[in-house]
Structure 1
Amino acid sequence: MELTKESIQNLRQDYRSAQLAEADVDQNPVAQFGHWFKEALEAQLYEPNVMTLATADLSGKPTARILLLKGFDDNGFVFYTNYASNKGRQLEENPQAAMVFFWAELERQVRIEGTITKVSAEESTAYFHSRPKGSQIGAKASPQSAVIPDREVLENRVEELTSAYADKEVPRPEHWGGYILKPSHIEFWQGRSSRLHDRITYTQENGVWNINRLAP
């Protein structure tokens, strides 16, 4: 297939698998997310906890990357990373973020916006030690987002740490841990035919979630 401007412009899919009405959604957006997440699991989608996390520095310059959701409840949505990474530095400067989940097979998207805080050190440590040991070593070895001369430097560091902790527990690095995004706005998007998609939003005001429909 020849790649042209026209061939890209003509890429389209007519969504017809489901619909979303105000009467169908839970009054609690986190519960509604749970319903959709369960359906994504039951559909056996590949890594349904994959999400895009968008952050911005103090100047407003945005950055986005793919991460994995590691938990959620009424308190918020949890993920883990290196606090000294680019995203960690941006969240230190500007503790606002947005998450996007896209489940293509279900023709669904969820957008979540809110404020970010760190989870407790105890929670971070518990999750760190639940990970495969190789992942623990990797987190300790990698100066995430820093310039390194070549991959060999990283692989040598991993080899050193693997040997050092062969028969003992890997301590959680102080620069590594969890964040929780407390939502103030959540949108559920269901693809519909002719681009007339369903968009149901929840916006929190004074502790109350207001539900509205947006034009596609």
Structure 2
Amino acid sequence: MTEDPHALFEHWFAEAKASEINDYNAMTLATVDADGQPSARQVLLKGHDARGFVFYTNRGSRKAAALAAHPRAALLFHWKSLRRQIRIEGAVSPVSDAESDAYFASRSRPSQLGAWASDQSRPLSDRAVFEARYAEMEARFADQDVPRPPHWGGYRVAPGQIEFWRDREHRLHERRLFTRAGEGWREGLLYP
């Protein structure tokens, strides 16, 4: 019987949370833009379940433009201290406004204000320009809750495959690959 890769992910993720000093939920997000140019960057996992893996960003950012052009992505979790990594590949779709609103409301007020002040991924002439915009947002939303900007929200990567990699001596690594098969999963091994 094939193991549930989401349950295995949850187990490894819990171990990373207990042992990693910083950003146990950091993952590399790789996309391809409209011209076929690949790009990778670190983002933070903010939710996961059987539907997929969720992160949030400015929907005017470079990564959002790439996802609009090619709604597929790869994720990579690398926990060096545990000598493990997980690779995920799949289709990407925006999360609902309700999910985005709920997560945005859980963020710190400075992070909320920063989402309004930042033109993420666009050129910035001077740090003082951003700081002035941030101050404008502080004044704009003084004495009130900060609503989610319309240009900010989440994306869900629905995995088509998930690979669990465990380091072994002499580069004789263990690699387990789960591939989506209808509503279930097919499991296999890969050579190191």
TM over 0.5: yes
- Once the 2 structures are TM-superposed, how far is the Cα of residue 47 of structure 1 from its aligned partner? 1.6
Question: SS where residue 11 of structure 2 aligns?
Answer: helix
Matching residue of 2:111: 135
- Once the 2 structures are TM-superposed, how far is the Cα of residue 205 of structure 1 from its aligned partner? 2.2
The percentage of aligned residue pairs carrying the same residue is 49
Question: Among 23, 30, 37, which residue is 1:54 paired with?
Answer: 30
Matching residue of 2:48: 72
- Once the 2 structures are TM-superposed, how far is the Cα of residue 169 of structure 1 from its aligned partner? 1.3
- Once the 2 structures are TM-superposed, how far is the Cα of residue 44 of structure 1 from its aligned partner? 4.5
Q: Which whole-Å CA distance do the structure 1 matches of 2:178 and 2:115 have between them?
A: 36
CA contact 1:45–1:105 (8 Å) conserved in 2: no
Q: Which amino acid aligns with 1:165?
A: F
- How do 1:1-216 and structure 2 match up within 5 A? 27-216=3-192
TM superposition outliers: structure 1 runs of 4+ over 6 Å: none
Q: Which whole-Å CA distance do the structure 1 matches of 2:20 and 2:167 have between them?
A: 19
Q: Which amino acid aligns with 1:110?
A: I
Q: Which whole-Å CA distance do the structure 2 matches of 1:133 and 1:65 have between them?
A: 24
Query: Which is greater in Rg?
Result: 1
Q: Which amino acid aligns with 1:130?
A: S
Q: Which whole-Å CA distance do the structure 1 matches of 2:125 and 2:107 have between them?
A: 28
Q: How many residues align?
A: 192
Q: Which whole-Å CA distance do the structure 2 matches of 1:49 and 1:123 have between them?
A: 19
CA RMSD of aligned residues (A): 1.3
Which structure is higher in strand share?
2
Question: SS where residue 13 of structure 2 aligns?
Answer: helix
- Once the 2 structures are TM-superposed, how far is the Cα of residue 129 of structure 1 from its aligned partner? 1.2
Moved more, 59-68 or 43-52: 43-52
Q: Which whole-Å CA distance do the structure 1 matches of 2:120 and 2:3 have between them?
A: 39
Listed one character per residue, the Cα deviations across residues 54-78 of structure 1 (whole Å, up to 9, x for unaligned) are: 0001332110000100010001000
- TM-score if structure 1 supplies the norm length? 0.86
CA contact 2:52–2:159 (8 Å) conserved in 1: yes
CA contact 2:17–2:25 (8 Å) conserved in 1: no
Structure 2 residue ranges without an equivalent (≥5) = none
Q: Which amino acid aligns with 2:114?
A: G
- Once the 2 structures are TM-superposed, how far is the Cα of residue 139 of structure 1 from its aligned partner? 0.5
CA contact 2:20–2:81 (8 Å) conserved in 1: no
Matching residue of 1:17: none
Question: SS where residue 58 of structure 1 aligns?
Answer: coil
Question: SS where residue 163 of structure 1 aligns?
Answer: helix
- Once the 2 structures are TM-superposed, how far is the Cα of residue 36 of structure 1 from its aligned partner? 0.4
